[in-house]
Amino acid sequence: MKKTMKKNMLSRVVLFISLITVTGAYANSDNEIAVSHFGKFVHSVEQQISHFFDSSKKTPYNTCVMELERIFQDIKRTVETTTRGVSDPLTKEIYDVIDYALQQFNVAYNIIKKYNGKSSTEATAFATEIKRDFNVEKVFTDLLSKLKTLKCKACQAGDTNVVKKLDTIIAMIEKKRKEWNAKADWVLFAGLKVRMDCK
């Protein structure tokens, strides 16, 4: 009887420990998935905005707007369908970074959308507005700072998969920041005029 009770108790302890382990792995998996979606979003939106200002691309303005809309809908759908772990500081921090990126890139998207269908004679007004409201250097610098802080927190939490994904995203954003810094204003303006003339 005592052996059966000990075995029963031991079985329950093993089951309890395995449940904790599986739950912890699932939570880390959710964080990893969220970071992966975030990385894809930043990569996609940056590529589309870069494409938008590229004078060698002859894609119609409205097509660029629709593609940006799709990218934003995808990430918003992902964020809305994911349960945020309010009790988990790492998960909260991940979603704070996602919210920041959405907010910043949404500023650029709204300006692009605002000038859809307008003549290239309004390119100067567009350029002035986007330069004033969407400072690429500041956005990328702030994003990198937030991601590095997030990486430290992921290290402290022992979430090595999230750390690896963050390393990849940080390297990508640093590369993109250098590419944007290398683009002269007149090159971007020429690309904008071409886009506004592509109906």
Q: Looking up tokens 């907010």, which residue turns up?
A: 103
49 and 106 Cβ atoms separated by less than 8 Å = no
Tens digit of pLDDT for each residue in 128-187? 999 999 999 999 999 999 999 999 999 999 999 999 999 999 999 999 999 999 999 999
Tens digit of pLDDT for each residue in 39-77? 999 999 999 999 999 999 999 999 999 999 999 999 888
pTM for the structure as a whole: 0.80
Q: In sequence order, what are the residues at sequence separation of 6 or more whose Cβ sits closer than 8 angstroms to the Cβ of residue 178? A: none
Token pair, residue 28, equals 């880390």
Token pair, residue 16, equals 């309890």
26-to-12, 32, 169 alpha-carbon distances in Å:
21, 10, 22
Please, what is the angle between helix 136-157 and helix 160-182, to 10°?
170
Q: What does the pLDDT read at residue 89?
A: 84
Tens digit of pLDDT for each residue in 21-35? 333 344 447 889 889
